[in-house]
Structure 1
C-alpha cells in the first residue's frame, strides 16, 4: 500500500476570499489591489514577524477556494477535507455559513467537516456554539487562535500568554464538552503543558493538537532569539519531545501531523515554483514524526496538509509523501498509512 492507494481525507485545510471576507489580512489584500505595489516591495515593508510566519504572502493576497485546493492536490487521491477556521474578524458564525456554501464536492473534494471559530473564554460562547451547530450539520468542533510565543519577534495570535489557563476559558470549555464537540488546539510548543492541563481537567473532552505543537525555530532562526544555532534548536526539540510525550499520556488527545512545513518552524523559503525536495523534508521532520508516532501511536495521528499555509515550502503531494515516507521507514511497513491518512480522521470527526 502507498498513499496513492488510499482515498485520503485531508483533515486540515483553509479557505478564504480576502476581497469578500472580513479576514485579518483582507485590508492588505484590498490595498495592494488598488495600489499595485510590486509584491517584492510590499514584502519588504511588512513587519518581520509577518514575513517570517507566512514565508510567501501570495496565497494570502488572493482567494483560496475549492478549485484552488483541487489544483494544489494534483493527482493525490483526496476524497474529502476538513475546514479549519482562520482569522475571520466578523461574526464568527458567518464563516461557517460561507465555507459550507462553497462548491465542494462538484469536481472538487467533498467538505467532510468544519471546525469553526470560537473562544471559550468569551461572553456568549455557549450561544455561539449553538449558532455554529444550527448553521451547518458539518460542524464538529471549534478552534481558538491562542498561539502565543515568548519571543516578541514571533507572530502571536493572542495577547494573553495564559489564554488556556484563565478561569473564563476553563469554565466556558465545559460548554464545549457538554455538546461533545472537538477542541482544535493550535499552540506554540512551549504552551503544550497548558494543553496537557486542559486534557487532564476535562478527560472526557475531545482535543486535537494541531501541527504537532508548532515548535517555532526548530529548523532555523526565527524571531529575535529563537533557533539561532544548533544548540538552541536542540533545546527546542528536547523541550518539545518531553512536553508532547506528557501530553500523549492523555488518551483524549490526538495529534495532527500537519503544519510541519510552515515557515515559522525555521524552514528556508525556496524560490516560487521550486519546492523543498522531499528527501530534505524527510530529514527535517523525521525526528518529530518518529517521536510523535512512538508516544501517540498510529491510532492517534491524523494527516492534514495545512494548505495553503504550507505552500511556500512544499506541495500537498510533497507534504503527504514526506509524512508517508517517515512513517513507512519508522514502522517498517505501510499498513499504518490507511489510519493516518483516512481512518483516524473518520473516527475522530465522526464521518460516514
Structure 2
C-alpha cells in the first residue's frame, strides 16, 4: 500500500537554531535528524513520499533558509527526502508576499504553517502568547495563501477549534489541513467533549478541510494503542477517511514509538475500512492536497537505510 508521511521534521542544530529545542523536556531531541537518519528509521515501512513541516527555526532568521536547505537535502538523497515541504511565514508581516515569492522559487514548496495555538502563561518557545485567531491582519494573510493556491497547516488547541471553524469557513479558496488530530490533550470527559464538538464544527463549517492525524504522543506520551486507537477511530469517523491524512511527527514522537510500529498501529486502527477508504487515508488525499507526483523509480532502500539495487 502506498503511504505518504505528511508530518516529518528534519533539523541540523549545527546549521540553524531551533529555540524550542532549548526548552525543558526536549533534551532527548537535541541531536541532528537528517534524511539519512529518517531513512534508517523508515527502512521497511513502505513510505512512498514525505511532507516536511517547518521545524520552528528561530523566527529571527529568514524562513526561506529552511526551504532552501530542504531542497539541498532532497536533491542529494534517493528517494528525495523530503518530497515536498510546508514552510514558515508570519502572515502578519508586511513582506509576506515577498517571502512567499522566495519560498515558491523551490519546486518542493507547497504551503505554510504558522502555529496558532497559544498560552499567555506558557514558557515554551513554540507557543505564542497571544491568539492569532483574534488578529485581523493574520486572518487577512490567509487570503494571500489562497490567492497563490498554497496550503495552510493549522495547529490550534482543541479549545480553539470552534473559533477557527468560523474563520476558515470564510476562506473557501484555501486548502487548510488541521494538524495533530485537533490536539485533544485534555483527556477528561469534559475535555474530550470540547474536542469532539470542535472537530465536528470544523469538519462541517470547512467542507474542503483535511484532518491530519499526527503527534499522537499528545494523546498518550507512551503511544499506548488503548489510548491512541479510540482517538484515531473517532477522528476518522467525524471527518471521514477521504478527508484524513496520516503523519508520523518524527522524530518528536520517536521517544514514544518506533517508526515502523507507528505505521503498523495506523494500519491496525483502520483495518475495518474499505480498500478505497484506506487508499485515500494512507496516501491518496495527501498526494492530492500537497500535489505530490509519483517519483521516478530509483535504487531500492535496504533494511539498514542504505541504497541498494532492485
Return the TM-score normalized by structure 1: 0.77
For 1:131-280, what aligned pairs fall within 5 Å after superposition?
131-134=102-105, 136-149=106-119, 152=122, 157-160=127-130, 162-218=131-187, 233-249=188-204, 250-262=206-218, 265-268=219-222, 280=224
Structure 2 distance, partners of 1:147, 1:309, is: 18
Shift of residue 107 of structure 1?
Answer: 4.2
Structure 1 distance, partners of 2:75, 2:47, is: 12
Gaps of 5+ in 2: 294-310
The aligned residue for residue 281 of structure 2 is 340
Q: Does 1:58 align with 2:34?
A: no
Match of 1:305 among 219, 237, 248: 248
Q: For the Cα contact (< 8 Å) 2:42–2:260, is it kept in 1?
A: yes
SS in 1 for 2:236: helix
- How many residue pairs get matched? 290
Q: Compare 108-117 and 319-328 and name the one that shifted more.
A: 108-117
Shift of residue 159 of structure 1?
Answer: 1.1
Seen in structure 2, the aligned counterparts of structure 1 residues 155 and 334 have a Cα distance that, compared at 3 Å, is farther
Gaps of 5+ in 1: 1-5, 29-45, 219-232, 269-275
Shift of residue 327 of structure 1?
Answer: 1.3
Structure showing the higher helix proportion among its residues:
1
Q: For the Cα contact (< 8 Å) 2:56–2:126, is it kept in 1?
A: no
Structure 2 distance, partners of 1:107, 1:156, is: 31
Shift of residue 79 of structure 1?
Answer: 2.1
Would you identify which runs of 4 or more consecutive aligned residues in structure 1 move more than 3 Å? 103-110, 149-156
The aligned residue for residue 316 of structure 1 is 259
Q: What are the superposed Cα offsets for residues 5-34 of structure 1, whole Å, 9 maximum, x if unpaired?
A: x132111100101111132156x5xxxxxx
Return the TM-score normalized by structure 2: 0.87
